[in-house]
């Protein structure tokens, strides 16, 4: 059988990992596939830096366009990232009848609907396991394993940078800025960490998961996104006192006629399995009608874990090629004509438990004025914690609510913030607690 020829675009950290794994696992992959997966060409703008991989002569080239034009290349692996040239190269690869593997979640979340339609038209595969959760087979699980289930909820820790920072603040009580600086020093956060810490990367991934789970158009714009940069050790400490851990969660839920799709810091009970997922690890908990609960845990990023997912996709596509079975599993698992737009619930309509921390002046009547406004808006308080004054200045007043509508909570907070006894904007953190709050 003829070897399957792979062309790799981009030889940065993950690209070099893919090259390394293809070369080192060549025999193991051939034993499974019946023919080698041959790394024919690797293109990168910089071919002089050592990538820690020994390429045979002529394999490592400058010109990515040459790879997507090469009639011998069967599958293109796009490891450039970003929304620019990566997209143009993928489209050209499709045009030339090549199958594509990518880990580019930003591109998929932004232009995924277009890429999906063109790939389907051209009869080529587009695989992206590495785009969500790194080496965890969450895409394959939803696309293939859980197909008999109605997926009720997906709750994920999908960004290692955020999980590292929050774990650090939780364990050591350091400030957000200190934890971020350490993440940067350890290579877990970029110099400009915005995409990660503001939840945008997590939203990209959630957009993919909801599209797969519900057979819907990829819909990034309607996902609510809130990052972790305003999380303080004080709120983490209060969370602990109430039995909660704060995680940046991607939450996708089936609400019947709409879905919830939101990314924000969330308090989860300490006995929730996700609360034990620390450091840079990722995890997804899936609740579905047949399986009840299922969970995957693994490295969501990093050179070799990501490369593992890419190689898994490559072998899948190679098996399709060998069998003449391209597009065996549609890109979103559902047949293209079954993909529908599904509305995303507006955040104002969300029903949730809330943690609210007010900074109030320590005067008589504070609690009655705050709780009066909450009561007027139908928000019922489950628990109050007011610290005695230890120094001059405002004191924190913390409340946990029973289930309330987000719009009412926001209105109440806006009104409370205007009171003369309130010194700062209140802090609001949503709580996911199936067992309710006492």
Between the CA of residue 147 and those of 140, 150, 203, 328, 355, what are the distances in Å? 10, 8, 23, 14, 36
- Binder among 78, 254, 316, 432 for a second copy (CB under 8 A): 316
338 binds a second copy (CB under 8 A): yes
3-state DSSP of 394-423? CEEEEEEECCEEHHHHHHHHHHHHCCCCEC
Q: For the stretch 78-98, what's the b/e string if a residue is b when 16 or more beta carbons lie within 10 angstroms of its beta carbon?
A: bbbbeeebbbebbbbbbeeeb
392 binds a second copy (CB under 8 A): no
- Residues numbered 146 to 205 that lie near a second copy (CB under 8 A) are 146-150
User: Between residues 314 and 422, which has the closer beta carbon with respect to a second copy?
Assistant: 314
User: Between residues 99 and 140, which has the closer beta carbon with respect to a second copy?
Assistant: 140
Min. distance of Cβ 52 from a second copy in angstroms?
A: 14
320 binds a second copy (CB under 8 A): yes
Name the one range near a second copy by CB under 8 A: 110-118, 153-161, 163-171, 321-329. 321-329
The closest alpha carbon to 21, from 261, 303, 209, 290, belongs to 303
The closest alpha carbon to 307, from 23, 75, 1, belongs to 23
User: Between residues 281 and 347, which has the closer beta carbon with respect to a second copy?
Assistant: 281
Name the one range near a second copy by CB under 8 A: 30-38, 46-54, 154-162, 198-206. 30-38
Min. distance of Cβ 414 from a second copy in angstroms?
A: 41
- Binder among 335, 368, 380, 383 for a second copy (CB under 8 A): 335
CB 332, CB 209: distance < 8 Å = no
Min. distance of Cβ 64 from a second copy in angstroms?
A: 23
CB 160, CB 143: distance < 8 Å = no
Name the one range near a second copy by CB under 8 A: 18-26, 42-50, 77-85, 398-406. 18-26
Name the one range near a second copy by CB under 8 A: 20-28, 249-257, 262-270, 396-404. 20-28
Min. distance of Cβ 147 from a second copy in angstroms?
A: 5
User: Between residues 162 and 310, which has the closer beta carbon with respect to a second copy?
Assistant: 310
56 binds a second copy (CB under 8 A): no
- Binder among 118, 195, 294, 428 for a second copy (CB under 8 A): 294
Query: Mask: binding to a second copy, 124-143, rule CB under 8 A, as x and -?
Result: -----x-----xxx--xx--
CB 251, CB 153: distance < 8 Å = yes
Given 168, 205, 247, 253, which residue is catalytic? Answer: 205
CB 290, CB 149: distance < 8 Å = yes
384 binds a second copy (CB under 8 A): no
296 binds a second copy (CB under 8 A): yes
Cα 367 from Cα 395, distance rounded (Å): 12
Report CA torsion sign: 161, 167, 170, 173: negative
253 an active-site residue? Answer: no
The phi and psi torsions of 135 (rounded to 5 degrees) equal -80, -15
- Residue 21's contacts (CB-CB under 8 Å, 6 or more residues apart) are 304, 307, 308, 310, 311
E strand or H helix that includes residue 47: none
User: Hey, which bits of 81-160 come out as E strands?
Assistant: 99-102, 126-127, 151-157
User: Between residues 163 and 333, which has the closer beta carbon with respect to a second copy?
Assistant: 333
Centre a 10 Å sphere on the Cβ of residue 229 and count the other Cβ atoms it contains: 16
312 binds a second copy (CB under 8 A): yes
- Binder among 47, 85, 195, 215 for a second copy (CB under 8 A): 215
Cα 307 from Cα 302, distance rounded (Å): 8
CB 219, CB 341: distance < 8 Å = yes
Where do the H-state alpha helices sit in 186-229? 194-197, 200-214
33 binds a second copy (CB under 8 A): yes
Binding-site size for a second copy (CB under 8 A) equals 60
Cα 33 from Cα 38, distance rounded (Å): 12
Min. distance of Cβ 305 from a second copy in angstroms?
A: 5
- Residues numbered 245 to 274 that lie near a second copy (CB under 8 A) are 273
Min. distance of Cβ 321 from a second copy in angstroms?
A: 11
Q: How many CA atoms lie within 13 A of 78 on its CB side?
A: 32
364 binds a second copy (CB under 8 A): no
| Residues labelled catalytic | 205
Catalog residues that contact a second copy under the rule CB under 8 A: 17, 21-22, 25, 28-29, 31-34, 129, 135-137, 140-141, 144-150, 215, 273, 276, 288-299, 302, 304-305, 307-309, 311-312, 315-316, 319-320, 323-325, 328-330, 333-335, 338
């Amino acid at each position: 059988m003829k070897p399957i020829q792979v062309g790799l675009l981009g030889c940065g950290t993950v690209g070099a990992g893919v090259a390394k794994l293809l070369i080192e696992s060549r025999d193991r992959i051939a034993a499974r596939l019946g023919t080698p997966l041959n790394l024919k060409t690797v293109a990168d703008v910089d071919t002089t830096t050592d990538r820690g991989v020994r390429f045979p002569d002529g394999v490592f080239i400058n010109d990515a366009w040459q790879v997507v034009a090469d009639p011998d290349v069967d599958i293109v692996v796009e490891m450039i990232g970003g929304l620019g040239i990566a997209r143009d190269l993928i489209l050209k690869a499709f045009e030339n009848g090549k199958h594509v593997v990518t880990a580019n979640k930003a591109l998929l979340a932004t232009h995924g609907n277009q890429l999906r339609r063109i790939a389907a038209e051209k009869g080529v595969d587009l695989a992206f396991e590495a785009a969500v959760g790194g080496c965890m087979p969450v895409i394959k699980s939803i696309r293939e394993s859980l197909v008999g289930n109605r997926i009720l909820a997906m709750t994920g820790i999908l960004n290692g940078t955020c999980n590292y920072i929050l774990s650090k603040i939780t364990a050591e009580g350091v400030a957000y800025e200190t934890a971020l600086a350490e993440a940067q020093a350890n290579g877990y956060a970029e110099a400009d960490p915005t995409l990660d810490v503001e939840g945008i990367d997590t939203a990209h991934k959630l957009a993919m998961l909801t599209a797969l789970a519900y057979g819907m158009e990829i819909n990034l714009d309607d996902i609510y996104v809130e990052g972790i940069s305003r999380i303080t050790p004080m709120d983490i400490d209060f969370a602990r006192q109430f039995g909660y851990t704060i995680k940046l969660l991607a939450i996708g839920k089936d609400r019947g006629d709409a879905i919830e799709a939101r990314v924000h810091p969330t308090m989860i009970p300490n006995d929730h399995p996700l609360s034990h997922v620390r450091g840079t690890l990722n995890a997804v908990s899936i609740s579905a009608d047949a399986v009840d609960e299922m969970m995957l845990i693994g490295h969501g990023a990093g050179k070799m874990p990501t490369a593992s997912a890419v190689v898994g996709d490559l072998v899948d596509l190679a098996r399709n090629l060998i069998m003449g079975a391209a597009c065996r599993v549609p890109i979103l698992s559902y047949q293209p004509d079954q993909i529908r737009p599904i509305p995303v619930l507006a955040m104002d309509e969300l029903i949730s438990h809330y943690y609210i921390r007010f900074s109030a002046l320590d005067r008589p009547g504070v609690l009655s004025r705050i709780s009066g406004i909450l009561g007027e808006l139908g928000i019922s308080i489950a628990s109050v914690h007011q610290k005695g004054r230890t120094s001059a200045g405002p004191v924190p007043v913390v409340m946990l609510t029973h289930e309330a509508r987000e719009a009412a909570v926001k209105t109440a907070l806006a009104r409370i913030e205007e009171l003369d006894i309130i010194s700062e904007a209140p802090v609001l953190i949503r709580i996911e607690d199936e067992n309710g709050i006492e």
